[in-house]
Amino acid sequence: MARVRPLSGFPEWTPAERIVEASVLDSLREVFQLHGFAEIETRAVETVDRLAGKSEAAKEIYTLGRLNAEEGSEAKLGLHFDLTLPFARYVEEFQNELAFPFRRFQIQKVWRGERPQEGRYREFYQADIDVVARQTLPAHADVEVAVVMARALAALPVPGVTMRVNNRRLVEGFYRGVGIGDIAGALRSVDKLDKIGPDGVRTELIEQDIPESAAAAILDLAQISAPDAGFVAAVEDLWASSTTVHDPAEAEQELRAGLAELVALVEGVNAAVPGTAVADLRIARGLDYYTGSVYETFLTGHEDLGSICSGGRYDSLVAGGGFPGVGMSIGVSRLVSRMLGAGLVRASRPVPTAVLVAVTDEASRATSVRIADALRGRRIAAEVAPSAAKFGKQIQYADKRGIPFVWFPDAGSGDAESESTGGEVKDIRSGDQTPADPTSWEPPAADLHPRIVPAD
RNA sequence: GUGGCUAUAGCUCAGGUGGUAGAGCACCUCGUUGUGGUCGAGGGGGUCGCGGGUUCAAGUCCCGUUAGCCACCCCA
């Protein structure tokens, strides 16, 4: 028989790890719903031509087909690689049934055929929220989406996060004002600032035929950051000293609009979750459909992991125009894998069971089942021991699974028809054992369900 | 897609210059005959990723292949 080997990039968790992941998913869902976002789920597949669309993301798409499908007999399908594109299709398709602005969240697996690494998977969960309008979407939606995500992340058992935000209008206005034609290309280089440093970026920019003075100006811009409106004066000063085009009025208008939006964003997020947002004018985001606010979020002390929650503002969700929106996406699998891998948290036990009901002998298994049912009827998770092994073995069974309590049924009268459901319950951690009645006994609240606890 | 490293028991890993495979942990049994964890004794478990080559002899050397890890690219 072939050896079982993990498939790279397709993570699978143990039951205890899954409890951590599920609790993260539950927590996110709760915060999203609390802010009035409606849940949708889209199918896992889209047609390949729609998925492949524009970018070079096409290479990452997993295609799907029947083994014996006839040539050309069916539409080519692919697994979605994010939740935004399926959402766009969904909005287009259901536009007459949705009320706008439409606020939705979506938590699903996505698939990308990339080379996996730590925190980079081929199959992973994303948790998206978006607000989409029909014609125009006010800028306060940009703030709201970021606030919801900041709160969602703050509710998780992780160190704090820093949300680095920027604004494309600001950057594009500035870039045009210093005479840069290929804004996307320049942004791409500026985005590498952390990795290759200012000199590296300068070299790349000059290779793109950007004048040295302009390269210097946008590098200076990229190095501005502030946790409040303090960046505005710095940008204005830089603008005044580096504008080179003849008529910068239009560019300046964009710059100022972007500045205002960015100030509102930083201040809005920090008012809701203090210390979270930082205006960082180097944040570029590779995706070219963003047109306003852009966001990247880093886990404090785990910046090497990359962004765990990113997104931005886009002019038009669908090809024909209209439907402006703003959205962010949490890389849940990336986040959870680090939480587990770095020992930030663990589950208090890998099974839901709070009580193992021991079986005295197979003849009286029914008594044990009755006790377990009495507990279950009161929402206390219970299971019956798999065999009437020696009590020591049955305790060991519970111990290995982290089940905190073992219930020993009464020896009883020996009458198989006896209604007796009493016995003694033992806390196997302390060894304390006391008589108890399954119609009234309760475990401590902390033992009722598996909990997420700090790892040792 | 590009480059580097790795592959031996369920897990983590030892196995100079070729000589027929080991440890720790985990698992099972017993000591302890229906109340666990400690301790002690014993036990099961590996065609050394796969295919080929060199050799009297390959876990070890060579070639190929597959898979995994890391970095780049890109991104959650």
The pLDDT assigned to A6 comes to 67
Rounded CA gap, A35 and A28, in Å? 11
Q: Letter for the amino acid at A365?
A: R
Nucleotide nearest to A359 (CA to C1'): B34
For residue A63, list its beta bridge partners: A78
The pLDDT assigned to A2 comes to 41
Positions 262-301 of A with beta carbon below 7 A from strand B are 285-287, 296
For residue A423, list its beta bridge partners: A409, A436
Rounded CA gap, A325 and A338, in Å? 30
> What's the first-to-final CA gap in chain A, in angstroms?
38
Say whether the CB atom of A307 is under 7 angstroms from strand B: yes
Rounded CA gap, A158 and A24, in Å? 10
Say whether the CB atom of A124 is under 7 angstroms from strand B: yes
**Closest amino acid to nucleotide B7 (CA–C1'):** A5
Cis peptide before A101 (omega within 30 of 0): yes
The pLDDT assigned to A284 comes to 77
Say whether the CB atom of A134 is under 7 angstroms from strand B: no
| All domains in chain A, ordered by first residue | 15-346 (3.30.930.10), 355-454 (3.40.50.800)
Low-confidence ranges of chain A (pLDDT < 70): 1-6, 54-59, 71-73, 286-287, 411-421, 456
The number of C-alpha atoms within 13 Å of A255 and in the hemisphere containing its C-beta is 23
User: 3-state class of A125 per DSSP?
Assistant: strand
β-sheet with A45-47: strand ranges across: A45-47, A77-79, A63-64
Secondary structure of A178-241 in HEC code, one letter for each residue: CCCCCHHHHHHHHCCHHHHHHHHHHHHHHHCCCCHHHHHHHHHHHCCEECCCCHHHHHHHHHHH
Nucleotide nearest to A361 (CA to C1'): B34
The separation, in Å, between residue A331 CA and nucleotide B62 C1' comes to 45
Rounded CA gap, A228 and A381, in Å? 49
Characterize the bridge pairing of strands A123-132 and A325-331. Answer: antiparallel
Cα radius of gyration rounded to whole Å, chain A: 28
The pLDDT assigned to A5 comes to 62
Residue A157 vs residues A22, A96, A336, A345, A346: alpha-carbon distances, Å = 13, 40, 10, 7, 10
Separate counts of helices (H) and strands (E) for chain A: 14, 19
The pLDDT tens digits of the residues spanning A309-339 come to 999 999 888 877 889 999 999 999 999 988 8
Q: Hey, what are A388's tokens?
A: 């009437």
Residue A336 vs residues A256, A307, A340: alpha-carbon distances, Å = 39, 13, 6
The pLDDT assigned to A413 comes to 45
Q: Which residues of A264-286 are buried (b: 16+ CB within 10 A; e: fewer)?
A: bbbbbbbebbeebbbbbbbbbbe
The pLDDT assigned to A335 comes to 93
Say whether the CB atom of A331 is under 7 angstroms from strand B: yes
Residue A251 vs residues A172, A176, A244, A248: alpha-carbon distances, Å = 8, 6, 11, 5
Nucleotide nearest to A9 (CA to C1'): B68
Q: Answer whether A176's CB lies under 8 Å from A365's CB.
A: no
Q: Hey, what are A111's tokens?
A: 């698939």
Rounded CA gap, A37 and A200, in Å? 43
Say whether the CB atom of A401 is under 7 angstroms from strand B: no
How many residues does this entry show for chain A?
Answer: 456
Rounded CA gap, A26 and A359, in Å? 35
